[in-house]
Structure 1
Amino acid sequence: MKTQIFKSSKLNFLELRYIEKITQCQKMHLHEELTITAIKKGSLNIIFNEGKKLLKPKELIVINDHISHCATLNEVSEHGYVLYINKEYLKALEIFYDKDFEHIFSEKVYRKFISLCKILLDEKASLIFKEECFLEFCIDTFHKEEAQKCEENDNLAFKIKEYLDKNYLEELTLEEMSETFNLSTIHLIRVFKKEFGLPIHSYILNKKVHYAKELLASNLSIVEVALQSGFFDQSHLSRSFKRVFQLSPKEFQKSIFA
């Protein structure tokens, strides 16, 4: 049985578990976190004290932290994802989830959730990218009103940009940045995106790619350039570089030193 877990001390408000071959859990239990469950194949009976829900692909089940439940197989089921979210973290974002459980039938929300899960499990994705995607999912799924109604001023956005310009090679997180600027993480990402039209993780990636371009022009090896510009490896650099400049690092370097 293949199992993957994403858990990080820097993003200690969430945990993701992926199970390829799903087994049933017949014993009633509860979690200390809010949980979101999805599957890609088969169906599960999610049983509560008073009734049950049939979970199928393209659906989600959200269960609050105080709700007892168990899960039995309705048929052979595969590729299960369970995301555990700290409720205190959501409250700090002014997201208050007070339902016992919720069966979400929206295929659009399901696709966003699966996409988030894949990003969280991707070892080459940066922490700030994972954190921002997680926040965007929470805002889209749970948050129907503005979390903060304070004015967004241009100076703040440019201060955030200045901070990123100095620290983009570090392993940043939104939580650390929000503490630095004394903002909620939601306000932080909204202020920045409104001014510059890019999510924070995309801006950081863009900075790294342009720095890599400078290093390539100094005739360093592509492997060394990847390491010095904050990419996991040469292939990670190549994919990102090509998205921005429409040619590979090797092609770029060849055109300079031909």
Structure 2
Amino acid sequence: MAPRKEKESARFQLANELGGLELLDAKYTNQNFSRHSHEGYTIGVIEKGAQRFYRTGGNHIAPQDSIILVNADEVHNGQTATEGGWEYKAMYPLPEQFSQMMEGLNVAQSTPYFPEPVVYDPEMAQQLRLVFDTLAQSDNRLLRETLVYGTLVKLASRHSKTRTDWTPETKSQRQLVLVKEFLDDFPQADVSLEDLSKLAGLSPYYLARSFQKEFGLPPHAYQIQARLRVAKTLLRKGMKISDVAQECGFHDQSHLHRHFKRALGVTPKQFVTGA
């Protein structure tokens, strides 16, 4: 008899008093995350199994009790590294939330950079579990805020490094930034590679190849991520899923559903309801 597959589940929540901090509690067996990025950091603890994921130009495996760290806007993906899948809890603090937490502290930078995709720190992992359990069970705002702020500052002090922000130096890099900014500002626009190449003053082939090299995704995939970010904002405001799909430039609701699930691990409906 074939082994029974565990049912997948994913619960997405927002901690509104913490600046809308996004939280995910998930159990996956077949989920295969596409390459994507988040506005915020990904900070997760593997509860069972192991996850294989791409980050920082290479593939990594995070086993049980390890901590996953992905920097804001960093391209990554994810899938199971074991037959039984993996379970994890994660949060996605924004860079500006880190800045507010670390303001006034004697640190070199207000927003951290985590160089290691996977860290083994049992004390920190247990502290993160305490945070996730408290956010799930307690409505004491002072306790929730104190635990989250203290834990994230401690995590940054133990595992982050100073990194100089990337700035475009060559003319072609500046032209690529123009394309990126256009896709960020007008994600719903129906543009072709030829349109973008004219904007940048670069050949279509050079643009596609160079854009992926600089930003981790080809232009069309980056546009999908930009559309998903707008979709999240509109869904939080209560807009109907079908209307969000149309507003953000997706072909239809199923097109939005497919990309949303592959990038975020939950469906648009789960994102809205927290179920």
**TM-score between both structures, scaled by the size of structure 1:** 0.51
Query: Which protein shows a greater Rg?
Result: 1
Q: Deviations over 1:33-84 (max 9, x none)?
A: 0111222111111113611110011110110112111001111234311111
Q: How does 1:139-158 map to 2 (within 5 A)?
A: 139-143=153-157
What count of residue pairs does the alignment treat as equivalent?
143
Q: Does 1:106 align with 2:109?
A: no
Partner of 2:22: 15
Are residue 85 (structure 1) and residue 124 (structure 2) matched? no
- Paired residue for 1:170? none
Whether the 8 Å contact between 1:39 and 1:77 is mirrored in structure 2 is no
- Per the TM alignment, residue 30 of structure 1 is displaced from its structure 2 partner at its CA by 0.4
Q: Which structure has the higher relative contact order (CA within 8 Å, separation 6+)? A: 2
- The equivalences for 1:156-171 within 5 A come to none
For 1:59 and 1:40, locate their aligned partners in 2 and report how far apart those are by CA, in whole Å.
8
1:120 matched to 2:132? The reply is no
Structure 2 counterpart SS, 1:79: strand
SS in 2 for 1:93: helix
Contact 1:46 1:52 in 2 (8 A): yes
Unaligned runs of 5+ in 1: 145-258
CA distance in structure 2 between the partners assigned to 1:134 and 1:57 by the alignment: 22
Please give the root-mean-square deviation of Cα atoms over the aligned residues, in Å: 2.0
Give unmatched runs, 5+ long, in structure 2. Answer: 1-7, 103-109, 159-275
The reply on whether 1:96 has 2:96 as its aligned counterpart is no
State the match for 1:55 in structure 2.
62
Q: When the two structures are superposed, what TM-score results if normalisation uses the length of structure 2?
A: 0.48
How far apart in 1 are the matches of 2:74 and 2:115?
6
**Structure 1 residues 111, 23: closer, same or farther in 2, change over 3 A?**
farther
Q: Is the 8 A contact 2:21 2:91 kept in 1?
A: yes
Percent identity over the alignment? 15
d(CA) in 2 for partners of 1:81, 1:23: 17
Q: What secondary structure, in the 3-state scheme, does the structure 2 residue paired with 1:142 have?
A: helix
